[in-house]
Structures are given as C-alpha cells and as structure tokens.
Amino acid sequence: MKVILATGSPEIDKRIQLSENHTLIDNVGDLTELMDLLNYISVDILIVNMLLDDAEGELLIGLANTAFDKNIKIVMLTEKIESYAERILVSKLANLSVHAFITFEKLNNKVLESVLIFYPEKFDFGLLAETIIKEKPVTVKEEKIIERIVNFHNKVITVVGNAELAAELAAVAGRHCDKNVMLMDFDFFDSGMDAALGIENQQENLPDVFELIDNGSLDRTKLEQCCIKLNKVKVFSLIPKFSQYKYSELVNKPINQLIDFAYKNYDLTLIHVNGSCLDLCAISVLQNTDHILMTMHGDRISRRQAENYTIYMRDNHGIGQDKFHFVLFEYNEKTDALLGYFNANLPSMACISYSEKRCKFRNSKAAYALRINGRNLEEYIKLLGIFKISGSHKNNNKSKIFLKKILGGKNGKKVSN
C-alpha cells in the first residue's frame, strides 16, 4: 500500500516506521502541498497531523473531501480532543469517512500498523467520550429509586423559539439528573426566559460577559457572576438584557467563544435562540451546537412549518438535518392531532404534554420549571435520555392511591398534571 506522510514534525516522523507491507511515497509538512500532490500521485493512505490546520480545520475538511472522492484512507494523528471546536471538526471528518484517529501519546508502530491493516469501518466515538453506566440503589423513606449515574460527554443543545421548553429542560437536568447546567438565552427580542424561570428583574447590574471575553479575563467564577443561579438546583442562567445591546452589534460578539467555554466547564449547555430562520445570532449558534430541539404544536401546519425550517437551514446554512430533534410541545390529546400522525412522519419526535399547572404559573411570578412533576417530569427525563443524560423521578404508588382517594372518592378521578 502506498502511503504519504504529513506530520510537519521530525520528532513524530521518528516514531513512524512503516512495515514492508507499506511504501512511503512522500513526506510533506504542509496540507496545501499535500492537496496539490494528490492531483498527480496515486496513493492508498495518508497519515496526517491534525495540528497542521487550525481548530476549524478548513484545509482538513478539503483534504478529507478529496480523499473521499479518490477512495483514500486517512489516519489522523492528534492530541486529546478537548475543545468544542475540535470535537465538531472530528465529527465532520468522521462524516467524510475519516475513521482512524490516534493520539500522540498512544502512537507507536504496533498501533499504527494495526490501523493501517485493519482500517476501521466506522468511527469510534469513544475517542470523544467514554460512557459509563452504573446503577446505585438509593433509599428515600419507603421508596427505592434506581438512580442511573452516567458519565457522559458534555453536550451543547439549542432550543429554537421556545423559552419555556429550554427553561424546563434545564431545571429537570439540574434537579433530577444532577447536572451542572449553563442556560443561555440568545433571543434578543425578549423571549420571556426570565419569566419562565421566575427571575424577572433580577439580572439588573450584572457584569457583561462579552466584556470579560474581550478583556481575556473570563473564567468560570466570573461567568457565574454574570448569571443568576436557580434556587436549589445547579442551573446558571445567562440572560443578557434586550436593552443592553443593539442587535446590529451582536453579530460581532464572540458568541462562539462563550459556547466553547461553557462546553468545557459544564455538563450541559442549553441555549435558546429566536425562532426566525433569518436571525443571524441564531444561525451562528445552530452551526456550533451538537443537537437542536425544534418545537411545534399538535397540528399539521405547525409540523409543516417545523420541517420547512430544518430544510431551509440545511440548504442555506449547511446545518445537517440529523442535528434536529422535533418536540411536540404542550400536546393535548383531547384537541390535537393523533400522536400516530406525528410519529409516522417524524420517527425521532419527543412529546411534552399540555399542563394546566403550567398555564396557571404563567400568570404568577413563580416558575413552573422548578415545580415540574408527574407526566411532564417523565416526559422530560425521557427527552434527556435521547442525549444519554440520565435521571430519576419518584414513583410513589402509595401517595398516588392516597391522592386518588382524597380527590376522587373510592374509585378516584383522573388528576391533570
């Protein structure tokens, strides 16, 4: 097999000794030179140092596209993948059939030769995160809860145009999944996130997080000083005031740096953006997030609008439809279309049911997000489970029977959530 080496480092080159099964065609130290070389040299495998490109990896993406077209395999040599931008780059390369990554600390002839001979058919996402699931029994009064503790890779999830969903999801992740959550609102047209969290008028006189980034002084402590911590849960909400900025200025704000910092420091980063497909801040965020929650109501028009949004983002901004997860929000089985209609068209859809309690809390200064229970709680835990975020909720049958007796007599009545 013919091999081209592109490490840009004599020290790394010394650690690579190819067997007689592989022939070294050339050794280059520049990705542009390597791209030119592929125009007139036939080769089977490239061994490339990822550090030859920047974190966004435009040259590496171009190289991977060329290699994919020419059926050339690529072995990437890399440091540990730590930053969010690096993880996005690795995911993009994996989608272009770059499945072999070797960290410098594990690089030796035995490992390299094994990869060259048995090039993996699929990318091993264990490079990005190792998931460990354990079960721990926890006794609470007369109940026994099985709490699944998951060591999962940090996630960045964006909710489009639904501040209530973002607030409630954050609260459940913090309270019932024991995650450190950073909740950020980038809907600068006044989304109502503060009302959904019960913290209206509390963000006055907080430091400006973008000034900290501009000054190079951002750390976790200072970031949390820009936030409001929710009562009794590990959720920090960053809600810049609409009146604090001119929208035209926001396009140049280092939002991506802020997302990257949050990704490194919190188990879960939840972001809320405006629902307009023309919002420039929203587009920037969506291009730099792991998963996108697209909400809709229980009717066919709402479903069509949600699907059209994803198609527009795919065709105009290169945001893959595989990032989108549809959420049927405030589903009312009495008045909305049948769930089967949505499941037939949107197989990966999640559902958060209508709650009379949520409607009542909208007209108070308290937050339903911090008081979710019953059916809604089960639905949110199921939704978080899609992203390998695991939690628990109490299932006290004795209490349910007692409530039924009080509210419904002998046979009990159905209690709305």
User: Between 149 and 159, where is the model more confident?
Assistant: 159
Burial class (CB in 10 A: 0-12, 13-18, 19+), 122: exposed
Place of tokens 């996108």: 292
CB-side neighbour CA atoms (13 Å) of 137: 5
The per-residue pLDDT for 129 is 55
How much is the pTM?
0.65
Coil, helix or strand at residue 127: helix
- From the CB of residue 25, how many other CB atoms can be counted at a distance below 10 Å? 15
Whose structure tokens read 């909720």? 393
155-392: CATH homologous superfamily? P-loop containing nucleotide triphosphate hydrolases (3.40.50.300)
Q: What is the C-alpha separation between 295 and 297, in angstroms, rounded?
A: 7
- Smallest CA-to-CA distance from 87 within 283, 348, 291, 312 is with 291
* pLDDT for residue 244 is more than 60: no
Tens digits of residue pLDDT in 69-101: 999 999 999 988 777 778 888 888 988 899 999
pLDDT tens track for 174-224: 999 989 999 999 988 777 899 999 888 887 788 888 889 988 899 999 999
* CB 58, CB 27: distance < 8 Å: no
* Residue intervals in the chain for CATH 3.40.50.2300: 2-124
- CATH 3.40.50.300 boundaries in the chain: 155-392
Cα–Cα distance for residue pair 136/123, rounded to 1 Å: 31
Question: From CA 186, how far away is CA 279, in angstroms rounded?
Answer: 10
Cα–Cα distance, 294 to 158 (Å, whole number): 9
What Rg, from alpha-carbon coordinates, does the chain have?
A: 25
CATH of span 2-124 = 3.40.50.2300
How large is the angle between the packed helices 84-95 and 255-265, nearest 10 degrees? 90
Q: What is the pLDDT of residues 50-64, one digit of tens each?
A: 999 876 788 999 999
Question: Can you list the positions of beta strands (E) in 79-223?
Answer: 100-103, 132-140, 143-151, 155-160, 181-185
